Amino acid sequence: MRLHFTGEISDLRDGIAVLAADFGFVCAPDGLSVRVVRHEGPELSVFRERGEIELSYNRRIHFFRALGLLVEALRDGLDSFSIREMPQFKMNGPMFDVSQGNAVMRTNTVKRFIRLMAIMGLDMFMLYTEDSYDVKEQPYFGYMRGRYSLDEIRELDDYAFMLGIEMIPCIQTLSHLKDVLKWSAFADIRDDEETMLVGEPKTYEFIEQMIVAAASAVRTKRFHIGMDEAWKLGQGEYLKLNGYRSKFDIMNEHLHRVLEITRKHDLEPMMWSDMYFRAGSETGAYYDQASVIPERVIEEMPKDVQIVYWDYYHADESFYEDWIRRHKAFGSTPVFAGGIWNWKGFVLNYGLTMRSTNAALNVCKREGVEEIIATLWGDDGTECDWFSAILGLQLFAEHGYASELSEEKLRKRFAFCTGGRFDDFMDIRWVDEIPGIERDNLANANPSRVMLWQHPMMGLFDSNLAGRGLEEYYARLENRFESYAERGGEFRFVFDILRKLCSVLKIKAELGIHLADAYGRRDKEKLNAYALGIIPDLIRKVRELQAAHRDRWFEVNKAFGWEVIDYRYGGLLISLETTVTRIGDFTSGKTDRLEELEEARLPFQGKEGYLDCQWYQFIPTASRIAQP
């Protein structure tokens, strides 16, 4: 396809050239003439009539969205068309957590996402960086954690700007700083192991260093200062120094001090809202409908900070409507942050992602919420491949250009923008949405993770897994993902790793159940079959999964952080080898008991059918993996 762009394109040429390589067109004087017109109104449009093509837009990102719509229509062979879209939001884009899960994306990975965002029409992104950027005054900040240099951040900001995308810093200025505060260099600003000491002058010296570093590498003046989930605020060193004070008062004191810094540097801050709602709840819960925030507290809050309401847990529109209106009581319309559920293991929960996003964004449009963030968290290792989330990005994008989402258009746009198949990506959900899990997995269970990492001789989740027919289930999924990988194009690796995971789980999901049953019947022949054949085959499959997972990690992420996953695979492989040895000792008569298999299997946390465990440390064993 050959295209010749005329009109107001001087600031678009570099972006056009970058996307031409991805979408198979060439800019040439003898190509189809495309007249580009920049206008004042928010609408973007592309039309072709009697051989003439015109593309109209206002913001740069709308040009690149419209460019994609044009190329798609031309690929479809349409001789005439008129496409008009009205942007629903002033800001809409993802936040990638490159700190909590240890996975710091390489700059080329971020650039690939930027190009996908541009053609989708997403106009903003954040890299959530607790300590994953360089603060020159603090050598232990991000030490051995893959932190970005400020030059790398500038490079990304330039690249995003070329395509009309704003890169907004997103840091923490209160809590979520466990990987920083563990170093003795920061001992004098600790309230507790993850929260800074409010009121301490050195705290604000450090915060200014963080803010100046993060802001210096980007064009925007917008800045996310974090401040969520300070669970024990004021209960550690602060309590010893100051006595008891309400969390409301501590939050307001700290916020005023941090905003003095952002004002000094001419920044436009935003912050997560949950600490105010938690302080007003008797249970400390964010979504407690009995929570009360006193008028006094709201009056004392600074007004030059945007409030960000984050919520990806609810599937009913009425809840989002209520909570958005409660946020408006702060004095302005909030930013809304939804979620693309990628942070509970290997598997992206597309059932809950679709249900929560559709409900939330429908309400945002009705309630006049104009700024949207799609969060992708990295909790506990970032085991899920980043690019599993591209359908979620497309979902947010299509909501951003339609008053009502069309699934038909979502499917078609996803195929064009990514080359992926809607149904293939939606089927990722089935790795966790196993028999017995409610439709769309609204409770966000993560059974594949507990099946993979639990010790085969301990079986902390075996009582919850029994009777689900998982061997046959995962064998079918393995075959399905093999076919998806074969046709997956650029993203075949997403399905190849899931195929290898299913290959492991078809053996391991019920391994502990079968071992305990055979041991209970003293069936040494069956036990030997596992020790001499089935488990060695499982070890081979685990090594194949580990190798694919490792190679993919080093391709898309910096090296730092993989060692955590190495330890998990190493522990799993050694536990399987130990299982073989223990069974052999029993069947040969070297020992007369396998104590591990004699312990009754209890429901995890006393809940029948419960298959959710967020944190790896509680999965392999009931013993402590490490001291706190």
pLDDT of 576: 98
Beta strands in 86-132 (DSSP E): 91-97, 124-128
pLDDT confidence bin for 627, thresholds 50/70/90: confident
- The answer to whether 576 and 546 are in contact (CB under 8 A) is no
Tell whether the model's pLDDT for residue 276 goes beyond 80: yes
| Main-chain phi, psi angles of 465, to 5 degrees | -95, -20
Domain ranges of the chain: 2-85, 91-427, 446-618
User: Which amino acid, 9?
Assistant: I
DSSP string covering 375-443: EE--GGG--S-GGGGHHHHHHHHHHTT-SS--HHHHHHHHHHHHS--HHHHHGGGGGTS-TTSPGGGTT
- The answer to whether 23 and 68 are in contact (CB under 8 A) is yes
Tell whether the model's pLDDT for residue 51 goes beyond 90: no
pLDDT of 5: 97
- The answer to whether 513 and 461 are in contact (CB under 8 A) is no
- d(CA 328, CA 368) in angstroms, rounded, equals 11
CATH 3.20.20.80 fits 91-427, yes or no: yes
User: Which amino acid, 619?
Assistant: I
Average pLDDT, the chain: 97
| Main-chain phi, psi angles of 129, to 5 degrees | -125, 95
- d(CA 360, CA 382) in angstroms, rounded, equals 25
DSSP string covering 166-221: EEEEE--SSS--HHHHTSGGGGGGBSSSSSB-TT-HHHHHHHHHHHHHHHHT-S--
Q: Report pLDDT digits (tens) over 92-151.
A: 999 999 999 999 999 999 999 999 999 999 999 999 999 999 999 999 999 999 999 999
Element (H, E) at 312: none
Helices first, then strands: H and E counts in the chain: 24, 14
- The answer to whether 31 and 2 are in contact (CB under 8 A) is yes
Q: Report pLDDT digits (tens) over 67-81.
A: 999 999 999 999 999
Q: Report pLDDT digits (tens) over 544-598.
A: 999 999 999 999 999 999 999 999 999 999 999 999 999 999 999 999 999 999 9
| Main-chain phi, psi angles of 567, to 5 degrees | -60, -35
Q: Report pLDDT digits (tens) over 427-459.
A: 999 999 999 999 999 999 999 999 999 999 999
- d(CA 558, CA 103) in angstroms, rounded, equals 7
Tell whether the model's pLDDT for residue 628 goes beyond 80: no
Q: What is the CA radius of gyration of the chain?
A: 26
Q: How far is CA 277 from the centre of its chain?
A: 23
The partner residues of 48 in beta bridges, in order of sequence, read: 53, 81
- The answer to whether 382 and 561 are in contact (CB under 8 A) is yes
- d(CA 86, CA 66) in angstroms, rounded, equals 11
Q: Report pLDDT digits (tens) over 467-481.
A: 999 999 999 999 999
Tell whether the model's pLDDT for residue 279 goes beyond 90: yes
pLDDT of 59: 98
Q: What does the DSSP 8-state code read for residue 305? A: S
The pairing of beta strand 44-49 with beta strand 52-57: antiparallel
Q: Report pLDDT digits (tens) over 318-356.
A: 999 999 999 999 999 999 999 999 999 999 999 999 999
CATH superfamily of the 446-618 domain: N-acetyl-b-d-glucoasminidase (1.20.120.670)
In this prediction the pTM is 0.97
Token digits of residue 444: 């966000």
Helix, strand or coil, per DSSP, at residue 9:
coil
pLDDT of 464: 97
In this prediction, what percent of the chain has a pLDDT beyond 90?
99
Q: What does the DSSP 8-state code read for residue 533? A: I
pLDDT of 620: 97
Tell whether the model's pLDDT for residue 235 goes beyond 80: yes
Question: What's the CATH number of domain 2-85, 3.30.70.270, 1.10.3720.10, 3.30.160.230, 3.40.50.300?
Answer: 3.30.160.230
pLDDT confidence bin for 308, thresholds 50/70/90: very high
Q: Report pLDDT digits (tens) over 142-184.
A: 999 999 999 999 999 999 999 999 999 999 999 999 999 999 9
| Main-chain phi, psi angles of 172, to 5 degrees | -120, 135
pLDDT of 398: 98
Arithmetic mean of pLDDT, 238-256: 97
- d(CA 620, CA 537) in angstroms, rounded, equals 20
pLDDT confidence bin for 297, thresholds 50/70/90: very high
